[in-house]
Structure 1
């Protein structure tokens, strides 16, 4: 491989990509966040995805100067693709990155997008910006490809190098180059998609499938709660069948499962199709925070525990376990609902950055020493620290208190006789 590489966007996705390539190749790592670049130069990754030693060993030139991209001819774009408050795709970061790349594009360059998008976005939304900013013609002066990211924040087993990489290219020749470049570092190998739209669609349905399945589990959890049986027990029994799919209920947030389906539904509705199953799943999952909060209030009232001005401890704020990522967490929705009922909510998180929690949600994270005994404890996120220290945190619940276990991590042997526990 004799390509000169760059990665644009050094977040949860872009940094692992840059580091993997940086083990074998010289890489320009570009991000518009100057503070982020300064931290990476010092060997510190606040996302906890890359260890300091691995960061320093990788051959990466970290920069916020777009002119450094001019010396590269294989540029990977890995910027966020969020949704707005109306659950519509927000391509602002992606289009801005395309503008930046286009302004320094040199002839013969291949630009590969990894950001999650709806089918058609690369060629219909990004390419025109690259052409306008560069003055070049796509398919002649420069080329594009799409290789959907599959980074799973906090997962040290399924990494960039160990997951099969789907690749696609504008032409058969470009596809072969892209496959060779990724194949040089991805040990699991590559899958050559038929075209760019196929690769875009494959990515967006991966998380849509998970979203719909989790929505089914959430709806079943609500039903079983009314029936009076434990959802976890039901799923364990059903799971003994060989072809039962093992999903579990929970809060669906983050930058993937809670976002990607809206990219697909947006495109579908633009084309005149109303996607009923996908949107129904989204409604169920988006409403789970309200359901959990109202269940907490009901259980408190049933046990004669006062609500207004009482205090609740919530363990976990991030969108998933063992990861500091706070983006699009649904735990904040539970917290806001509880606050509206008049409860004081004290939040602890074993992984999150207190500064980010304050900036994102105006939440003052508490330390272990700041937590005191309360009538109610909510295990919201199953961080390993909470799993390993069940007894320590359960000791912070009054003798007649209630524990709300959203992800089923509480060990019953540590419960006191008059304490009660509620499972999702």
Structure 2
């Protein structure tokens, strides 16, 4: 395999683990505009929780926010975020900015690979022209491009970079082999060579759209079965005994993948004059779940206690968009908190994984310590963190509630309802 000086552009939950793995076999420069993040990495502090301090302290990768350090790199991998504008259209500014930076340091023979989730056509229609304009070089004759979608699952210590098959694609066969060789050096599970860049882009965007639609179906079923007085978890358990039943669960769908990526596909379809039905419908169902849950909390409190006190205090356990992750970007728990506050409730939020400063900056909300969860009228288990599991946790919930209060809203069905009944509690779940 050729010797490469690799630059990883964007050092979040995708770029950081990639840079660390690549540095075991190649010379690597990790670049990010966030100087505070770079200082933390140099000090061995991993705010993403994906790599860990020990890995940062022993890595050979060089972390920098000085773009001049990209000079001499001949293999670039772009792993920047692809968020949405307020109108839910794709915000490709981080990608465009990254490619303008790369273009300044592009030399003949260089390969540039995009990992960020985009709609089909982005790499060739948007990124390549930026590289050509910025560098004065031409695709094919002077440089090559590729697309290899990230498949990192935040907080998952089993399905990691090296254990997940990596899709690779490139602008020609020669580049495809080189891109594949670089990723094979760090991905033990192997690589899958897609026939084109657009196929690879499309494969990535539908991975998350598929999950979004399936979870939306579960959420809709939960609404139906709750109205019918049927336990959704028990229905899914029974249906799951059939060999080809797909196992998904209802819940709040947030984050920067499932809650975002379908909009990229919708956007591209609409540009082509199509009016997709299923993907937007799934998005609409999942976007409405926070309001549905808040309404059910009010209904259940009225049913059990007969009235809603003006000083009702609700404890919300978990704020991040998924379990055992510090990432609170686009978390739908924030929407739930807002809905509860609209009802006039005082909401006390506790999350052992979330960064309080990030939550304060992004949402204007304060996180509470665990011992602040006292004298509550109701408890909502919103995220399935390990800290909220286990048989010992149910009695602890009992101690959080006021005398005479007994409602627990176990949105993730972490505990059997019988466990709550044994300590005098009543549980509602999706």
Q: TM-score under structure 2 normalisation?
A: 0.97
Query: Residue 417 of structure 1: CA displacement?
Result: 6.2
Query: Residue 419 of structure 1: CA displacement?
Result: 2.9
The whole-number CA distance in structure 2 between the counterparts of 1:270 and 1:391 is: 54
The residue that corresponds to 1:268 in the other structure is 269
Is 2:394 aligned against 1:390?
A: yes
Question: Could you tell which deviates more after superposition, 414-423 or 346-355?
Answer: 414-423
The residue that corresponds to 1:338 in the other structure is 340
Query: Residue 52 of structure 1: CA displacement?
Result: 1.2
Indicate how the Cα distance of structure 1 residues 414 and 292 shifts in structure 2: closer, same or farther if over 3 A, else same.
closer
Is 2:425 aligned against 1:423?
A: no
Query: Residue 401 of structure 1: CA displacement?
Result: 2.3
The residue that corresponds to 1:25 in the other structure is 26
Q: Secondary structure at the match of 2:163?
A: coil
The residue that corresponds to 1:320 in the other structure is 322
Q: Secondary structure at the match of 1:241?
A: coil
The residue that corresponds to 2:120 in the other structure is 119
- Does the CA contact (< 8 Å) of 1:301 and 1:307 recur in 2? no
Indicate how the Cα distance of structure 1 residues 307 and 338 shifts in structure 2: closer, same or farther if over 3 A, else same.
farther
The residue that corresponds to 1:67 in the other structure is 68
Q: Secondary structure at the match of 2:220?
A: helix
- Does the CA contact (< 8 Å) of 1:110 and 1:143 recur in 2? yes
Query: Residue 125 of structure 1: CA displacement?
Result: 0.9
Pick from 399, 402, 408: which aligns with 2:413?
Answer: 408
The whole-number CA distance in structure 2 between the counterparts of 1:305 and 1:165 is: 55
Query: Residue 418 of structure 1: CA displacement?
Result: 5.0
The whole-number CA distance in structure 2 between the counterparts of 1:175 and 1:57 is: 31
Indicate how the Cα distance of structure 1 residues 99 and 229 shifts in structure 2: closer, same or farther if over 3 A, else same.
same
Gaps of 5+ in 2: none
The residue that corresponds to 1:290 in the other structure is 291
The whole-number CA distance in structure 2 between the counterparts of 1:29 and 1:83 is: 25
The whole-number CA distance in structure 2 between the counterparts of 1:307 and 1:198 is: 56
Gaps of 5+ in 1: none
The residue that corresponds to 2:92 in the other structure is 91
The whole-number CA distance in structure 2 between the counterparts of 1:308 and 1:420 is: 22
- Does the CA contact (< 8 Å) of 1:148 and 1:203 recur in 2? yes
The whole-number CA distance in structure 2 between the counterparts of 1:134 and 1:13 is: 26
Is 2:360 aligned against 1:358?
A: yes
The whole-number CA distance in structure 1 between the counterparts of 2:25 and 2:185 is: 8
Query: Residue 201 of structure 1: CA displacement?
Result: 0.2
Q: Secondary structure at the match of 2:162?
A: coil
Query: Residue 391 of structure 1: CA displacement?
Result: 2.4
The whole-number CA distance in structure 1 between the counterparts of 2:46 and 2:228 is: 47
The whole-number CA distance in structure 2 between the counterparts of 1:128 and 1:390 is: 57
The whole-number CA distance in structure 1 between the counterparts of 2:93 and 2:307 is: 47
Q: How does 1:7-406 map to 2 (within 5 A)?
A: 7-303=8-304, 304-388=306-390, 389-398=393-402, 399-406=404-411
Query: Residue 410 of structure 1: CA displacement?
Result: 2.6
- Does the CA contact (< 8 Å) of 2:398 and 2:425 recur in 1? no
- Does the CA contact (< 8 Å) of 2:28 and 2:60 recur in 1? yes
- Does the CA contact (< 8 Å) of 1:119 and 1:201 recur in 2? yes
CA-to-aligned-CA distance 1:59-93 (integer Å, 9 cap, x gap):
10101111111111010000000112211111011
The whole-number CA distance in structure 2 between the counterparts of 1:152 and 1:211 is: 15
- Does the CA contact (< 8 Å) of 1:215 and 1:249 recur in 2? yes
The whole-number CA distance in structure 2 between the counterparts of 1:76 and 1:146 is: 9
- Does the CA contact (< 8 Å) of 2:151 and 2:164 recur in 1? yes
Indicate how the Cα distance of structure 1 residues 85 and 308 shifts in structure 2: closer, same or farther if over 3 A, else same.
farther
- Does the CA contact (< 8 Å) of 1:81 and 1:89 recur in 2? yes
The whole-number CA distance in structure 2 between the counterparts of 1:307 and 1:253 is: 31
Q: Secondary structure at the match of 1:20?
A: helix
- Does the CA contact (< 8 Å) of 1:386 and 1:393 recur in 2? no
The whole-number CA distance in structure 2 between the counterparts of 1:50 and 1:110 is: 26
Question: Could you tell which deviates more after superposition, 392-401 or 208-217?
Answer: 392-401
